[in-house]
Structure 1
Amino acid sequence: MGELPRLVATDLDGTLVRQDRSISPRTADVLARIAKRGTLVVMVTGRPVRWLSQVYNQLHEPLPAICANGAVVYDPGTDRVLRANPLAPDLLAEVTQRLRAEVPGAVFAVEVADGRELRHDAEWPVLWDAEDPSIRVLATPEEVASVPAVKLLIRAGRRDPDAFVQIVAAALGGLAEATHSSYSGLIEISAAGVTKAAGLAWFCEQHGIEPAEVVAFGDMPNDVPMLTWAGRAVAVGNAHPAVREIADDVTLSNDEDGVAAYLEDLFELESQP
C-alpha cells in the first residue's frame, strides 16, 4: 500500500474496544479526524445490530457497520439494513440436527430479525440482554430453526474454541461457515460464503474501493478472512496467533489504543491536547 488507504476497517471487541468495553477518547478522536479528511471508516464486527448503540454512544459520529461476521451491512444514519445474508430455515434445521447429533450437550441460539432479536434453547446461558424483552426463549429445536437467522451460535460447555471449531466445521461438511471470536467455547455459524471479508467486499464495491485501498484491524480468527482480503492487515498486540501469523503489521494491544496509535502514525496525525 503505497498511498494512504481510502477505507479503514476495524473489528470492535478485542481490537477497537478495550477489555472494559470502552472506546478511549483518543480512539474516538482519531477515527473522527480520519473520517473528516474523507477516509471511510467502517466497523466490521461479530456483534449484532442491537449491540451497536454501546459503541455509537462513545464515538463522535456513528459509523457504518458490517455486523454478524459479514451477514448484515447496516447504515446508522437511516437505521436501515442495506444487505443481509441469513441462513434459511431449511438449512438451519439441517445444520442444528447434524450438530445436535455430533456434539453432546450442544445448545443453540440464533440472531434473527437482522440481529435485532435473539432466540435460543431453554438451556442457553443468557449472559447479555437478560432484561431485554426482545429475547425470546424457544424450547424446541423446531422453533430455533423456524425463521431465517443471520447467525447461528452453538455452545457445549466450556471448550477450547480452536479445537471445538474444527469439530463443528467437520460436522457441517461445507454447508455453512464456522468461526469463533472469543475464548469461551462459543462457535459462530454463518451461511456458506458469508464472512467479514465478503461483507466488507460488498461495501467497498458500492463505494468503488479496491482491496489494495483498505487497511484492516483485527484480533481473532473471525477476522482472518477480512485481514487476508485487505491490502494491509494489522493485528493488535493481544491478537490470536492465527491473526498475528497472517498480519502485515502488529500494533499495540486494544487496551493500549493500538488502532489509534497505528492510524496516528499512518496518517501523520498530530497529538491532540
Structure 2
Amino acid sequence: MRSSLPKLVATDMDGTLVRSDGTVSDRSHEVLARLRANGVVLVGATGRGPRLIELTMRDLGPADYLVLAQGAHIYDIGGPLPVLLHAMTVPGASIARAVALVEAEIGPVQLAVEAGTAVNSPLWTDVGFAWPYPEPTETRPRAETLHGPLVKAFLMAETMSLDDLLAVCRRVIPPQLCEASSSGGMVELAPHGATKATGLAFVTEALGIDPGDVLVFGDMPNDVPMFAWAGHGVAVAGAHREVLAIADEVTGSDDEDGVATYLERLLDG
C-alpha cells in the first residue's frame, strides 16, 4: 500500500471503476472528489472513444483529463467544456492490411470500426457483427468502412477465444500498422504509438509530473502499458492475468468499489 498521496491518479473505466451493471457508485464519486480536493490530478484512461465522451464524463464525475481511445484522444475536462489537446487516427488501409494478415492466419473475422468522433456517432460493422452494447451501429461494406482515417477498429472471431485472437494479432500484425490490445470482449486496433501509457505521458509532461508520482487502476490487457509506465499500479480483483502479473497491488473488484476502497485507505492513512 502506498504511504502518501500521488500527484496524479488515472483509472480505467469499464470493469475497474464502472460496475458490471454499468453504474458508478456514489461512494466512488465521493472518494474521487476527496482526491481532487487534496490536490491530486484525476484522469480517466479508457478504450472508449470520443463518441462516448459524455458517458465517460458522467461516469467519472468532475475530473481533470480524459485519455480516450487507448491514448489516441486526450481532453482537458477541467473547465466548463472539454478541450481536445491531442488526437491520432489510424489509416483505414492499415486496418485493412492488419485484418488481412489475421484472416490469412485464422480465417474470417468480424470487423467493426469507429470513424466518427461526434457524440453517439454510429460504429460501422460487418454484416452479422453483434455489437454487445446499446450504441448505434450501421452495417457497411468493408471497402467503405476502411476508407479514410479511423479512431480504431474492433475484431471478433467465432472460432477462438479473445486471448487466442489477441495472441494472433500481436504475432502477425507489424507494430507500425496499429496497436493491438483488448479491453473486454473484443480485440481493439488503435493507431500505432497510441497506448494509455503514451496518453498519460502526454498529460504528465505538460504538467511536469514524474511517472513515479502516478497511481493507476485497471483490469485488462490494454491497461498493461500504463501499469508498466506508472510508479504504482493497482489491479482490481478478477483482472486479466496480464494485469495481475504486473500490478503492484490488488484491490477489490469493480462491483466491490475496489478503487474507492483503495483510495479511502490512502486518504485516511
The answer to whether the 8 A contact 1:72-1:84 is kept is: yes
The answer to whether the 8 A contact 2:46-2:68 is kept is: yes
1:85 is aligned to 2:88? yes
Q: What pairs with 1:119-198 in structure 2 (closer than 5 Å)?
A: 119-130=124-135, 132=136, 135-139=137-141, 141-157=142-158, 159-174=160-175, 175-182=177-184, 184=185, 186-198=186-198
**Paired letter, 2:27:** R
TM-score (norm 2): 0.89
Counterpart CA distance in 2 for 1:152 and 1:205 is 28
Counterpart CA distance in 2 for 1:68 and 1:60 is 19
- How far 1:160 sits from its partner (Å)? 1.6
Q: Deviations over 1:31-77 (max 9, x none)?
A: 01111222111000111223343343355525521111111112344
The answer to whether the 8 A contact 1:23-1:55 is kept is: no
SS in 1 for 2:14: coil
SS in 1 for 2:243: helix
- How far 1:238 sits from its partner (Å)? 1.7
**Paired letter, 1:162:** D
Aligned length: 263
**Paired letter, 1:188:** E
SS in 2 for 1:38: coil
- How far 1:235 sits from its partner (Å)? 0.7
Label 1:198 to 1:59 Cα distance change in 2 as closer, same or farther (>3 A): closer
The answer to whether the 8 A contact 2:234-2:251 is kept is: yes
1:210 is aligned to 2:213? no
Counterpart CA distance in 2 for 1:62 and 1:7 is 11
The answer to whether the 8 A contact 1:223-1:243 is kept is: yes
**Paired letter, 2:127:** A
Q: Deviations over 1:73-127 (max 9, x none)?
A: 1234423432111112332332233334333221211112347532222232233
Question: Which one of 112, 116, 119 corresponds to residue 109 of structure 1?
Answer: 112
Label 1:91 to 1:58 Cα distance change in 2 as closer, same or farther (>3 A): closer
Q: Deviations over 1:145-168 (max 9, x none)?
A: 112112111112263222111112
Could you tell me which residue of structure 1 aligns to residue 13 of structure 2? 12
- How far 1:3 sits from its partner (Å)? 4.2
Query: Which stretch has the larger CA shift, 111-120 or 9-18?
Result: 111-120
SS in 2 for 1:21: coil
Could you tell me which residue of structure 1 aligns to residue 31 of structure 2? 30
Label 1:59 to 1:168 Cα distance change in 2 as closer, same or farther (>3 A): closer
The answer to whether the 8 A contact 2:67-2:199 is kept is: yes
**Paired letter, 1:123:** G
Instruction: Give the 4+ runs in structure 1 shifted more than 6 A.
Output: none
Label 1:86 to 1:115 Cα distance change in 2 as closer, same or farther (>3 A): farther
Counterpart CA distance in 2 for 1:115 and 1:108 is 21
**Paired letter, 1:109:** A
TM-score (norm 1): 0.88
Counterpart CA distance in 2 for 1:190 and 1:58 is 23
Counterpart CA distance in 2 for 1:204 and 1:265 is 24
Could you tell me which residue of structure 2 aligns to residue 254 of structure 1? 254
**Paired letter, 1:226:** M
**Paired letter, 1:5:** P
Query: Which stretch has the larger CA shift, 15-24 or 160-169?
Result: 160-169
Compute the RMSD of aligned alpha carbons. Answer: 2.1
SS in 2 for 1:113: coil
